[in-house]
């Protein structure tokens, strides 16, 4: 493989953000290669997207006999075997413990569909939409950040983009706009990091 920065992407679901990364790598707008995609879910559509792009995939499911730390240590071992420069959490729906994170200091990047400190955890988009409907907020956003520790959707911010609500917009339409913004911000942030490395 060409001598470009190596990304390992972790997904749990659809993988539209993974797709944005794969497309940017293929178009050479992102000077990187996705060297592996790992998922904790065997039915994650992101695995299909990776295979279509000829990227190796692995499913590492957590089994009841493993506690979180044991699982994370195993996962870290597989991720490390692909020698990543960065590990990108693109819709990875598990909180990683230090047993994983300490293996990749300053190398784990997460995407959150809300602004720093806002709506951590799952269903952030729906929760922001509900808060807007109640008149509690008039904008939300997306952010990309480093994952230094077990804080949920928290860590040194690499990029943010605000998104305003539009009167009368459905949740579905709003959700689509958030995802479109995520794809742009995630790829743009990776590009910036890799070019200034």
Q: How far is the CB of 112 from ligand GRF (least distance, A)?
A: 6
Q: Which of 4, 5, 6, 13 binds ligand GRF (CB under 6 A)?
A: 13
Is 142 in contact with 124 (CB distance < 8 Å)? Answer: no
Choosing from 112, 123, 139, 145, the catalytic residue is 112
Burial of 15 (0-12, 13-18, 19+ CB in 10 A): buried
CB closer to ligand GRF out of 70 and 180: 180
112: annotated active-site residue: yes
State the pairing for strand pair 108-112/139-146: antiparallel
Selected range binding ligand GRF among 59-67, 110-118, 132-140, 159-167, rule: CB under 6 A: 110-118
Which of 125, 138, 142, 140 is closest to 167 using CA atoms?
138
CB closer to ligand GRF out of 15 and 84: 15
How does DSSP assign 121-133, residue by residue?
SS-HHHHHHHHHH
Selected range binding ligand GRF among 24-32, 66-74, 98-106, 107-115, rule: CB under 6 A: 107-115
Q: Is residue 161 at the binding interface for ligand GRF, with CB under 6 A as the rule?
A: no
185: Cα separation from own chain's centroid: 11
- Contact residues for ligand GRF (CB under 6 A)? 11, 13-18, 46, 90-91, 111-113, 182
């Amino acid at each position: 493989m060409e001598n470009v920065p190596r990304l390992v992407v972790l997904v749990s679901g659809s993988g539209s953000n993974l797709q944005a990364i794969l497309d940017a790598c293929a178009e050479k707008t992102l000077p990187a290669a996705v060297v592996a995609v790992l998922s904790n879910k065997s039915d994650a559509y992101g695995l299909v997207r990776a295979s279509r792009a000829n990227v190796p995939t692995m499913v590492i499911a957590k089994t009841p006999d493993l506690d979180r730390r044991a699982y994370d240590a195993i996962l870290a071992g597989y991720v490390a075997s692909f020698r990543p420069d960065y590990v990108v959490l693109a819709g990875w729906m598990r909180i990683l413990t230090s047993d994983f994170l300490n293996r990749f200091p300053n190398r784990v990047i997460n995407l959150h569909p809300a602004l720093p400190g806002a709506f951590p955890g799952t269903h952030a988009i729906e929760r922001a939409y509900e808060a807007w409907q109640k008149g509690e907020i008039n904008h939300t956003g997306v952010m990309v950040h480093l994952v230094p520790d077990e804080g949920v959707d928290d860590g040194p911010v690499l990029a943010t983009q605000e998104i305003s609500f539009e009167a009368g917009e459905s949740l579905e339409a709003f959700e689509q706009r958030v995802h479109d913004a995520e794809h742009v911000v995630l790829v743009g942030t990776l590009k910036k990091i890799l070019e200034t490395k």
